[in-house]
Amino acid sequence: MKTFKLENEPKIKSGFKTPDDYFDTFSTKVLEQVDKKEVKVIALNRRKKVISIVAAAVILIGLMIPIVNNYNSKSKELDAETLETYLSYQSNLNQYDLIKELDNTDIQKLGKNVALEDETIEDILSSNPNIENLISE
């Protein structure tokens, strides 16, 4: 193999040339162009504060939704099943205690809901051997 020496080989000239005094005036030209364009600076720490406040608000609202639904869904009135279950497990509760707690409006509501015909009442009284007990109550 033949030895290669850079000094002896013909050199290829580059197609690029810099103008005279280019590097002397380069810094002043760049500074003039930078001064012409003003860039709006946005502080990153402000954006981070806003994003963190928004994220905290979203998390707080997300945690409050089940609590608000729980308070709004509770009705103050008892449903029939709950009341019936409660009364069935109370052994010391009798019919006189229930009657004592009824108001006139409750009695009127009970009267409207009961729709018994005379024939139904007669059938019940005739089939029941304890007629005297039913009449006394």
pLDDT for 112 beyond 80: no
Q: Is 23 helix (H, G, I), strand (E, B) or coil?
A: helix
| pLDDT band, residue 57 (cuts 50/70/90) | very high
Distance CA 132, CA 99 (A): 20
Residues with Cβ within 8 Å of 137's Cβ and at least 6 positions away in sequence, in order, are: 95
Q: pLDDT for 93-109, tens place per residue? A: 777 887 888 888 888 88
Report which DSSP code applies to 50. H
**The predicted structure's pLDDT at residue 60:** 94
Q: Is 61 helix (H, G, I), strand (E, B) or coil?
A: helix
Each as own residue / partner, the long-range contacts of residues 88-95 (CB below 8 Å, 24 or more positions apart, any chain) are 95/137
Is the torsion defined by CA of 7, 9, 14, 19 positive or negative? Answer: positive
**The predicted structure's pLDDT at residue 62:** 92
pLDDT averaged over the chain?
Answer: 79
